[in-house]
Amino acid sequence: MADHGITSPLLSPPPSDHPHLILTVQDETDTDSHHNGTHTHQSTSAHHHHSRNPFAFLGSDGFTVPVSTTADPFRNHTLEITGVYEWLKIGICLPVALARLVLFGVSLVIGFLATKLALLGWKDKKNPMPRWRCRIMWITRVCTRCILFAFGYHWIRRKGKPAPRDIAPIVVSNHVSFIEPIFYFYELFPTIVASESHDSIPFVGTIIRAMQVIYVNRFSASSRKQAVSEIKRKASCGRFPRVLLFPEGTTTNGRYLISFELGAFIPGFAIQPVVVRYPHVHFDQSWGHISLARLMFRMFTQFHNFMEVEYLPVVSPLENKKESAICFSERICAFMDVEKSGVITFKQFLFGSAHVVKQPLFRRACEFAFSECVSGESDHVSEQKFGESIRPAIPDLNEDEVRELFNLFDSDNDGRISKEDFLTCLRKNPLLIALFSPCLHNKDISEDGNRLVEEIV
């Protein structure tokens, strides 16, 4: 242990020429025929039998964990059109869909022409767009609202308000569909960070150019670095509009948040998170595992599509200590997950902890463990005595590892572990009771132990 870190593997891989070990597992029906042959082995491996279940002294016989379900953050849940209601609705809405398609096309063309006019003769794209050009872009912004109307978003529910640009120069949002960029174009007219491939999209490429888009190639380190510099430059200049990023980097189905790219968080500016939701019953509007044409057709053939936009409070980097971009992004991610619908990791760990806590002997075992750690008349556990108590369970612990565990138990950081510190730590981390299993294996904590517990209390 002294030569290996905590992250090193517990078992070293065998050499390539090492023979494979084959274990034959016997049925219960075969145990009688092999009883004599295995009795000696069982007697000499009693200690190893105990080590298989470190919580056997609590009366635990093991536990089962429900089968994990695979979470797919990109799955659209209504790929197929099912049910009489949906087919009937599509039939009724087909004439409406044609009218919506015409409105969509006309709005797109008018917005494109207005954008071309606003960009005409503009050479200095490194500086903010002049005001008179921004006023022309209002035509395009109105057209984008008409496009949203054509897609069935007749009204959009909003919670909260956008923070002033001088308070939160960066806005981050989850990304569910192609609808969010259209909405933000109308609502905020921000500078957007987008993939280089978007520039070549007909009509759309020209329109987003007016947003002074920051292009990034996610597969190029130099491009990502340059994009971060541009984000910092434009966020720090009050004459530029807000900078909008979708930190997930792709669209999901809105049920989960996936890992964030760090571009929005490296500059260290205050950020306003925004959560977009699409409540639905029959039609999932997320752009995942579904073609754009099919998604647009389904949108055109709905009576109404619901959309909710919630502006969350501004989150600023910590001032009292330096915070890394990774920690900052994780705080933002947790803050945006307001419904706590993310996938729970370490499922086995959680079920195991709950199982140990529910054991009837758990509290008594904690009391006994503390009594074994204290010395003499003392009511506190010193670091030296703590190390002596846990080393039988993990003989190769070094001093640094003992100190880390000691600090975990010493919640008030006074250099010693009180009984309250000890019991509180084990309640929060019940699996740590296994550290004291060697000194508890020979104790009767079920019946005769009652008297000792009463004395301790």
Selected from 3.40.718.10, 1.10.238.10, 3.10.20.600, 3.30.1490.20, the CATH number assigned to the domain covering 347-456 reads 1.10.238.10
| Rounded Cα gap, residues 227 and 192, in angstroms | 11
Q: What is the mean pLDDT of residues 287-309?
A: 90
Q: Is 178 exposed, middle or buried (0-12, 13-18, 19+ CB in 10 A)?
A: middle
Q: Which residue has the higher pLDDT, 356 or 37?
A: 356
Residue 117 has a pLDDT of 93
| Rounded Cα gap, residues 266 and 102, in angstroms | 43
Does 148 have pLDDT greater than 90?
A: yes
Q: Which residue has the higher pLDDT, 51 or 154?
A: 154
Residues 382-429 pLDDT 10s: 888 888 888 887 777 788 888 888 888 888 888 888 888 888 888 888
Residues 84-93 pLDDT 10s: 888 999 999 9
Domain boundaries along the sequence of the chain? 84-336, 347-456
Does 243 have pLDDT greater than 60?
A: yes
Residues 18-28 pLDDT 10s: 454 444 444 44
Residue 438 DSSP SS3: helix
Give the residue carrying structure tokens 């009693």. Answer: 46
Report which residue type is found at 141. Answer: R
Does 32 have pLDDT greater than 60?
A: no
Residues 319-348 pLDDT 10s: 655 555 566 566 655 655 544 554 434 455
Neighbouring C-alpha atoms within 13 Å toward the C-beta of 9: 4
